[in-house]
Amino acid sequence: MNDKKIGLGSVIATGVGLVVASSCLLTLGIGAGSIGTPFIITMIIACCVNIFTLLSIAELNSMMPDLTGGLAQFSLACVGPFITIICMVGGYLLCNSLAGSVEGAVFGNTFAEMFAGPGLPAWVFSLVLIAFLAITNLNGVDVFIKVQDFVAYALIFSLATMGVLGALGIGTGEVIEQPAALATDFKSVTGLCGLAFFLFVGGEYVIPLNKSCKNAKRDIPLGMVLSMLIILAMQTFLTLGFKNYTAWEDMTGSTTPQMLYGMALLGPMGRYWMLIITLLAAISSVNTIMGSLAYILMGMSKIGLLPEFFQKKNSKGAPYVGILLEAAIFLVLNITGLSSTDSISYMISVLAVLWLISYIVSNINVILLRKRLPAAPRNFKTPCGYLVPILGIAGSAYMIYNIDTSWDVKLSLYRVVLITMAALAVYSFTWVKFKINRPLFKPYPIKEVMAMENELYFRFHSRKGLDEIDKKANRRKAV
């Protein structure tokens, strides 16, 4: 990732790639079917909150550029290793490992349904997808970007086209008569913000591509924001299209609402077109998760938060250990059937809360660095002082509060989150105290965090290296 080859278009493709997933099409159908077109307002709120957080992350990136670990390294310099490990392992590695397996399952289930003749299980098709994307990622960032650019822009074009056709009512199907709004009260509209969060989460995954950007100062913040706005526009048109062609109650009761819409809009051609869109979404999201997570794992390893073997690269410069590990997790979850059980949506909600917690920490990081290092150079700075990170914190907390409309379900989710964080806290405490032997909550100096990108850092700071330094110092004292 040393060649400056990636432009703004590729940054946007990567940002859109993870966010627009097959599960998002399902989430959009459920949200729109619940309250009708007012769900657009809900999406605008969720999109704005995510943009606030992305602007905060862009400021952190401007102070500590070219860090492959992204949020992990930013947090290490702000809140110390203990909180960093909990947030990154809980909010990113667990969440996205499960999300990647879900997308693989959607791909496999769709193909198994369309080609039921051979009688192959769904996980066989998932295996083909995961193996193909693992190979593309093992061939380095150039191949990853080529695949991502094609898939993401084909996805954007297809969703935008079907959304505009539906919103304007010019599809070949019959336009139906139904109320545009099922609910307009404040509680109904804002109560689905937690659900709408799924439609925009993940834009910060362009951060590991910082080293390869032609103009990272401009393209990273601009690419993240434009990704969110493009996604919001597509989903707005689709929601308006749902209103014209698909009954709201059908949307909430279907596991594939996008397929219902495609059939109603353009007949059989629309069904197959939406099938292609679903597959593109699965390919795009799995490709992005697999590639970006591997670099984040490598970055966390560089700063001593994960084992050193995640730093190993193949001849193409790809972090193959992380890529193969993610592919293996996706395969195991698909083969065992875990990613296709009824409990998957519940578990994604649990992990989304963890993700939102990591977003809160990212906004806190900006506030802390503003206070500690007010004069430090920043190529990008969020406008309006502390307002943006504070809004990001408040908005993320509000979405955690509205993660589900049922208090029984919310309490259950919170209970699972607390148990998960307690387990992560035990792991984090053990790793920090006994493996890297650092204070739990003491932030690392920014210069040290940036120095960790160099492989010579750990050669010098390894236990063996420190022992040699101690021996030399003792010999000097003896003389």
In a domain, 91, yes or no: yes
Give me the pLDDT at residue 338, please: 59
Give me the pLDDT at residue 235, please: 94
In a domain, 2, yes or no: no
Give me the pLDDT at residue 76, please: 86
Q: String of b and e for 395-425 (b: at least 16 CB within 10 Å)?
A: bbebbbebbbeeeeebeebeebbeebbeebe
In a domain, 130, yes or no: yes
Give me the pLDDT at residue 346, please: 76
Mean pLDDT by 10 residues, the chain (479 residues): 67 76 79 93 94 92 73 84 84 76 78 68 86 85 65 83 94 93 89 86 77 81 91 94 94 78 91 83 79 80 80 86 90 73 66 85 92 84 90 94 84 91 91 87 85 67 50 55
Query: Do residues 426 and 455 both lie within one domain?
Result: no
Give me the pLDDT at residue 70, please: 64
Query: Do residues 308 and 450 both lie within one domain?
Result: no
Q: Nearest-CA neighbor of 40 among 189, 170, 160, 169?
A: 189
Query: Do residues 458 and 417 both lie within one domain?
Result: no
Query: Do residues 250 and 120 both lie within one domain?
Result: yes
Contact indicator for 281, 287 with CB cutoff of 8 Å: no
Query: Do residues 468 and 417 both lie within one domain?
Result: no
Query: Do residues 449 and 414 both lie within one domain?
Result: no
Domain residues for the domain of 129 are 8-444
Query: Do residues 431 and 452 both lie within one domain?
Result: no
Query: Do residues 397 and 469 both lie within one domain?
Result: no
Q: pLDDT of 387-408, one tens digit each?
A: 999 999 999 999 999 887 788 9
In a domain, 1, yes or no: no
Please give the tally of structural domains in the chain: 2
Q: What angle do CA 422, 201, 111 make, to 5 degrees?
A: 100
Q: pLDDT of 426-435, one tens digit each?
A: 989 998 888 8
Place of tokens 């994307």: 133
In a domain, 151, yes or no: yes
CATH number of the domain to which 142 belongs = 1.20.1740.10
Query: Do residues 372 and 426 both lie within one domain?
Result: yes
Query: Do residues 326 and 453 both lie within one domain?
Result: no
Query: Do residues 459 and 328 both lie within one domain?
Result: no
